[in-house]
Amino acid sequence: MADDPIALFDAWFAEAKAGEPNDPDAMALATATPDGLPSVRMVLLKGHGQDGFTFYTNADSRKGNELAASPRAALLFHWKSLRRQVRIEGPVEEVSAVEADVYFATRSRDSQLGAHASDQSQPLDTRNHFEQRYEEARRLFEGREVPRPARWTGFRVRPERMEFWTDRPHRLHERRLFVREGEGWTEGLLYP
């Protein structure tokens, strides 16, 4: 078996957390609309390991609906200060309710209340309306724990391809590609 790309990601991610000045856990998430058009936005990595790369959102958001229609995605980490990027592609699955509950409980109370107040990605008439809904949620859950909204969940991208890109002088970059084969990985290089 070739080198383990998850272990390589762990090493690079540790370096990014130590040296990247802003949001080393930020990743571009690319999905496709039901009619096949590309759709991309930034999300935060909230967990990773051999089972995949996890982020959380409202399942009724645009990205949630796109993943329901076509459960495949691509991720991109770009650590500009390290002059590196990692591309990940693969199928997507929803995390268990227990896993979503555990992560939701770690969020700040304001973020928990915001999840109740927001119909993520839906049209909003005024900012004031959203702030009123937030205040209603704050009053509703005053003095008690904020439960996870039923449609607030996590998704895990199970990598089938992982590319590690390193900047080199004169655009002679290094690109290492890992492709899942069965339980292991094959490794190769790509031209820059």
User: Mind listing the pLDDT tens digit for each residue in 145-155?
Assistant: 999 999 999 99
Note the pLDDT of residue 1: 40
Of 158, 171, 176, 180, which residue is the catalytic one? 171
Q: Return d(Cα 17, Cα 83) in angstroms, integer.
A: 14
User: Mind listing the pLDDT tens digit for each residue in 8-59?
Assistant: 999 999 999 999 989 999 999 999 999 999 999 999 999 999 999 999 999 9
The domains located in the chain, with CATH, are 5-100+154-190 (2.30.110.10)
Note the pLDDT of residue 2: 54
In the predicted model, is pLDDT for residue 3 greater than 90?
no
Other Cβ atoms within 10 Å of 23 Cβ, number = 12
Contact residues for 2 (Cβ-Cβ < 8 A; gap 6+): 178, 184, 185, 186, 187
171 is catalytic: yes
Q: Return d(Cα 41, Cα 56) in angstroms, integer.
A: 13
